[in-house]
Structure 1
């Protein structure tokens, strides 16, 4: 929703649909969670699945353990510093381990492909309770 009378230097708030469309346009984002009572941020590749954010990771890793049933934040963006243009989307919601066999089989085929080496057969699903975004330029 534009409230700046066309001034390209002002931030525009994005609708939920715009946020989801922009999230679907990039392959990586940042998951923010609590690890040992401290904030932690990790860069992850992801995919959208029915409006949820899905991350594929190592089931025995720190990320999987720390996010199981937790409230997390997720952020993705693009930025063109030379043009002073870009966008940022933040999602906050509950994360949960994907355990349904049919869902796991489908996500192994259609979900995010692991970029990091090693076994990555664990999926974390984040359902955004809060989804906000802004666009500059």
Structure 2
């Protein structure tokens, strides 16, 4: 059969289809590997779920209770996302950084996105909060000293500056298994 020619069922041999992965993938990983990958990456389908939009207050409470988030920014005209430790101070997201790092360089007077989330792999419940706002890099010694009190540290050591993100736009959602609420959202609703 000529290269690229279709079979009687209209499929090109070795090409991917909704029913079959490319032959190279099957040969490289084994016939059961794709099914195993689908099983590992999917959340349980045992119970129905409900999807809800979180209020801004719920979003801010969940944001304040997290310790690691994802900073989304643009570098070299391309999107970049990196996990970072953070804290919330006076309603702003504070991220430790190194002066001259790609994060600090990209976040000078830029609009960035910041996200935190939680997923319960046991029952499939989840929530996510996204912040969009102007970022600035703090380099002044007085302001750095005040932010040092937060106890934030880079995973690779001490930071030399901070990225502060204004929380201009705060949105979030949650997915709950029927009859279950996440502990974090229960605390938010209870006013804790």
State whether TM-score is above 0.5.
yes
Structure 2 partner of 1:40: 80
TM-aligned CA deviation for residue 103 of structure 1: 2.5
TM-score under structure 2 normalisation?
0.64
What are the within-5 Å matches in structure 2 for residues 11-26 of structure 1? 11-26=51-66
Judge conservation of contact 1:11–1:136 (CA < 8 Å) in 2. yes
Structure 2 partner of 1:122: 161
Q: Distance in 2 between matches of 1:95 and 1:25?
A: 21
Structure 1 outlier segments of 4+, above 3 Å:
99-102
TM-score under structure 1 normalisation?
0.87
Q: 1:86 aligns with which of 117, 126, 140?
A: 126
Q: Which has the higher contact order (CA 8 A, sep 6+)?
A: 1
Structure 1 partner of 2:187: none
Q: Distance in 2 between matches of 1:20 and 1:72?
A: 17
Aligned residues: 130
Cα RMSD, aligned residues only: 1.7
Judge conservation of contact 1:27–1:46 (CA < 8 Å) in 2. yes
Query: Which is greater in Rg?
Result: 2
Which one has the bigger helix percentage? Answer: 2
Q: Distance in 2 between matches of 1:63 and 1:41?
A: 9
1:131 corresponds to 2:141: no
Q: Distance in 1 between matches of 2:98 and 2:139?
A: 14
Gaps of at least 5 residues in structure 1 are 1-7
Which one has the bigger strand percentage? Answer: 1
Q: Distance in 2 between matches of 1:50 and 1:32?
A: 21
